[in-house]
A and B are shown apart, each in its own frame.
Chain A
């Protein structure tokens, strides 16, 4: 069971990484809207990409 001497510190490091990742996500505003973002994946199919495309197309028209 000497392996524990390696595994437990390893687990602690993983724990630190997990918390750090979560803190990063929270401070980046990833948890500010828990309702809307969940549905956003449904928009992606033809969402922003399309809008982006049509917008750039329009920009070319304008210029």
Chain B
């Protein structure tokens, strides 16, 4: 198969992985008939292998460009050292027959069949691994291995080596219930589908007989066959409709299920009676087809719901957190929730702090991005307070727990999310509102019809009443919304916006205002060098070169800012390299060309100079480069704006949205940013509670608010908004609170999503009009006793098909790449 050249998604960087291509000699691989630049020999090898095996069509098939933000190895390896702790293993490891260990891993970043292939081949090739099976739909890898020859940790590291982050999965009850539900729905679908097709063949014969004449015996045969096949269809496939209708009636809140159950049940009972009595019409085909079409609609709805719940479940069932508790100067590994206030525990570099506490020993820095959203590690020393969930960056710490378990700051934020969630305004479901009106009308008409015919012609009363029920069965009506939602969800997902709650679409069409978080949403959430102010006698380039040489070995975010633009050109001489020292919380020092350089916190870098140093201004975070106590340059770091943000915001305001930024960061940099973006209203230094208050105020004034954010501190806001969207690169908890996740962090999808949602609303409206219009046209036929079974069958299937086909137009998000 040849694919048109424009079909490839060509990333800006490496053709294979999308990472920036480093300067220097280019690595090229011939893929799909042209040389493509690669970032490294690894990608080159993979690309050439795919090409050699004729599999390079993968590049044409992949659904989105590879993410530029690849997880660093540090992130991938975080916490893996703990996997072999027996205290944790009993939670998720099972020892099967032949002493083989079995575990299920939840693999992040699993997107396509190519990933499945890579994982199965790679892990399958590791020593001791007996079996690997990856389920793409659930993102689980089921592993069986020989524990004497390899360990779970090695397997997780094996996955990390090929770029996948995995964590042990504890199979929960909810997942099993979902699986049972899915299987039961599939079986119902099959029974209804096969049944409907067979009944239709008998019915076509009956219709032909009605026109051409038919032997009475044959007619009876067809009717009995129809009864035989529809019985299991009604008993198995239509059972959920009857159950739901009964529940609705008991609650005195009739929904769409009541007329559905009435039509299906009525058609079946009366047709069965006609079969036994040998007189009157049979509607078996209509009953079965109603059941089939409606089962398809319900199945699709269920799939959307499952995907959303499994997404959030994956996030909440995070890997169990452990603590290294100190007891009698010994270290023991326990569950984090086994800690009590007053316990002392140790945290090694790279590990997550399991409880709130006060540092007793050691100095280091902690990354609190999870809570504050700010990317800068905060330096801590004995006496500092730390919160659970933050990551210890530099050196070991001993901490005394002050709050544990449900009392920690992190746990309280999570419970805030839950509370806000329960107070959230309920988006009214159009379908349910329409249904209530509809049901009342249908029942009234059927009743009046029955009474009138009962007076005029009692023999025909039951048949025309049934015809009314069949004609008004809201099959197309109840397919109208799910079909549109399913098609739109699919279209959005292809463009990179994963919908986890279907109310997103309705919310987006009614939105008046977008509220953005700053760090990580409008900005990248990683520091960049914005300004360089060299002292007299030094050049900008020279200062940068020295800085890069000093920072080249560091994994600190500041160092990444220096290395982002270009790699180190000057290498420290041997002796200088040996002396390269990183001082936690202060900076880096090293020797270069015989001079002793320091880069980092100004007071430390210029040690010996008196007093507090005057920063050039307040709009950046400043670090200082000095040599032998002499100032060389100031570097102003700032969090850079996403390139597409101005364009995305422009288009949103073109669509009539008010825009607003709420930032937790009190510094001035946000103000400049807001001016640059032309944002209407801006708040700084807002706590999560204040942000929620602000959103509540807006809602109280009648606005509908869409919240876009990325961090845990945003999570309560995300829940408070009428609709919320989380950044894909944001933390897990923020995604948990959101109605949709922006998988590739591309803000320009937001205006497209608004447009897509409006289109979806139009399609739903058209579908409603069509479905109600059809029912209105057929109703007079039914009331006058003119509706023969074949007219009912054809009309019903056509109207349902029209609704579904119309919804399929939403499968592409217009304007998306």
Q: How far is the CA of A42 from the CA of B120 in the complex (A)?
A: 13
A-chain residues with CB within 8 Å of residue B186 when the two chains form the complex:
22, 26, 31
Residue pairs across A and B with Cβ atoms less than 8 A apart, 18 shown, are A1-B218, A5-B221, A15-B229, A26-B186, A31-B182, A32-B138, A34-B137, A35-B136, A36-B113, A36-B137, A39-B112, A39-B113, A39-B114, A42-B113, A47-B120, A54-B125, A55-B124, A55-B129
Q: Does B190 contact A (CB under 8 A)?
A: yes
Q: Does B191 contact A (CB under 8 A)?
A: yes
A60 to chain B, nearest CB (A): 13
Q: Does B313 contact A (CB under 8 A)?
A: no
What is the interface of chain A, defined by CB distance below 8 A to chain B?
Answer: 1, 4-5, 8, 11-12, 15, 18-19, 22-23, 26-27, 31-40, 42-43, 45-48, 51, 54-55, 58, 62
A-chain residues with CB within 8 Å of residue B276 when the two chains form the complex:
none
- Minimal Cβ-Cβ distance residue in A for B117: A43
- Minimal Cβ-Cβ distance residue in A for B195: A15
B257 to chain A, nearest CB (A): 25
Q: How far is the CA of A54 from the CA of B127 in the complex (A)?
A: 10
Q: Does B183 contact A (CB under 8 A)?
A: yes
Contact of B194 among A8, A15, A32, A34 (CB under 8 A): A15
Task: Take A5-B221, A15-B194, A18-B194 as given contacts and tell me if A40 and B187 are in contact as well, using a CB distance cutoff of 8 Å.
Answer: no
Are A12 and B190 in touch, CB under 8 angstroms?
no
Q: How far is the CA of A15 from the CA of B193 in the complex (A)?
A: 11
Are B215 and A1 in touch, CB under 8 angstroms?
yes
Task: Take A19-B194, A35-B136, A54-B125 as given contacts and tell me if A8 and B183 are in contact as well, using a CB distance cutoff of 8 Å.
Answer: no
Q: Tell me whether chain B's interface is mostly helix, strand or loop, or mixed.
A: helix
A56 to chain B, nearest CB (A): 12
- Minimal Cβ-Cβ distance residue in A for B183: A26
What is the interface of chain B, defined by CB distance below 8 A to chain A?
Answer: 53, 55, 112-114, 116-117, 120-121, 124-125, 127, 129, 134-138, 179, 182-183, 186-187, 190-191, 194-195, 198, 201-202, 215, 218, 221-222, 225, 228-229
Contact of A36 among B136, B215, B218, B225 (CB under 8 A): B136
Interface centre among A26, A34, A48, by most chain B C-beta atoms within 10 angstroms, is: A26
A39 to chain B, nearest CB (A): 3
B-chain residues with CB within 8 Å of residue A47 when the two chains form the complex:
117, 120-121
- Minimal Cβ-Cβ distance residue in A for B114: A39
Task: Take A18-B194, A43-B120, A47-B120 as given contacts and tell me if A12 and B113 are in contact as well, using a CB distance cutoff of 8 Å.
Answer: no
Are B190 and A32 in touch, CB under 8 angstroms?
no
Contact of B228 among A12, A19, A39 (CB under 8 A): A12
Are A32 and B179 in touch, CB under 8 angstroms?
yes
Are B135 and A48 in touch, CB under 8 angstroms?
no
Q: How far is the CA of A8 from the CA of B138 in the complex (A)?
A: 42
Are B218 and A32 in touch, CB under 8 angstroms?
no
Q: How far is the CA of A22 from the CA of B187 in the complex (A)?
A: 7
For chains A and B in complex, what number of residue pairs have CB atoms within 8 angstroms?
A: 89
Task: Take A51-B121, A51-B125 as given contacts and tell me if A23 and B136 are in contact as well, using a CB distance cutoff of 8 Å.
Answer: no
A-chain residues with CB within 8 Å of residue B136 when the two chains form the complex:
33, 35-37
A-chain residues with CB within 8 Å of residue B129 when the two chains form the complex:
55
Q: How far is the CA of A58 from the CA of B53 in the complex (A)?
A: 24
Task: Take A15-B194, A23-B187, A42-B55 as given contacts and tell me if A35 and B137 are in contact as well, using a CB distance cutoff of 8 Å.
Answer: yes
A12 to chain B, nearest CB (A): 6
Q: How far is the CA of A8 from the CA of B191 in the complex (A)?
A: 18
Contact of A19 among B120, B135, B190, B201 (CB under 8 A): B190
B-chain residues with CB within 8 Å of residue A45 when the two chains form the complex:
53
Q: How far is the CA of A51 from the CA of B228 in the complex (A)?
A: 51
B49 to chain A, nearest CB (A): 11
Q: How far is the CA of A19 from the CA of B127 in the complex (A)?
A: 43
Contact of A33 among B137, B190, B222 (CB under 8 A): B137
Are B183 and A36 in touch, CB under 8 angstroms?
no
Q: How far is the CA of A43 from the CA of B119 in the complex (A)?
A: 12
B-chain residues with CB within 8 Å of residue A39 when the two chains form the complex:
112-114, 116-117
> Which 6 interchain pairs have the tightest Cβ spacing?
A36-B136, A39-B113, A51-B124, A22-B190, A33-B137, A33-B135
B777 to chain A, nearest CB (A): 34
Q: How far is the CA of A59 from the CA of B36 in the complex (A)?
A: 39
B-chain residues with CB within 8 Å of residue A8 when the two chains form the complex:
202, 221-222, 225
Are A19 and B191 in touch, CB under 8 angstroms?
yes
A-chain residues with CB within 8 Å of residue B182 when the two chains form the complex:
31-32
Are A36 and B221 in touch, CB under 8 angstroms?
no
- Minimal Cβ-Cβ distance residue in B for A59: B127
B-chain residues with CB within 8 Å of residue A32 when the two chains form the complex:
135, 137-138, 179, 182
Are A55 and B221 in touch, CB under 8 angstroms?
no
Are B187 and A12 in touch, CB under 8 angstroms?
no
B-chain residues with CB within 8 Å of residue A46 when the two chains form the complex:
53
Q: How far is the CA of A45 from the CA of B201 in the complex (A)?
A: 42
Q: How far is the CA of A48 from the CA of B120 in the complex (A)?
A: 9
Q: How far is the CA of A38 from the CA of B127 in the complex (A)?
A: 28
B-chain residues with CB within 8 Å of residue A31 when the two chains form the complex:
182-183, 186
Are A36 and B134 in touch, CB under 8 angstroms?
yes
Q: How far is the CA of A62 from the CA of B149 in the complex (A)?
A: 11
Q: How far is the CA of A45 from the CA of B191 in the complex (A)?
A: 36
Q: How far is the CA of A1 from the CA of B67 in the complex (A)?
A: 66
Q: How far is the CA of A34 from the CA of B136 in the complex (A)?
A: 8
Q: How far is the CA of A11 from the CA of B201 in the complex (A)?
A: 10
A-chain residues with CB within 8 Å of residue B191 when the two chains form the complex:
19
Q: How far is the CA of A36 from the CA of B112 in the complex (A)?
A: 7
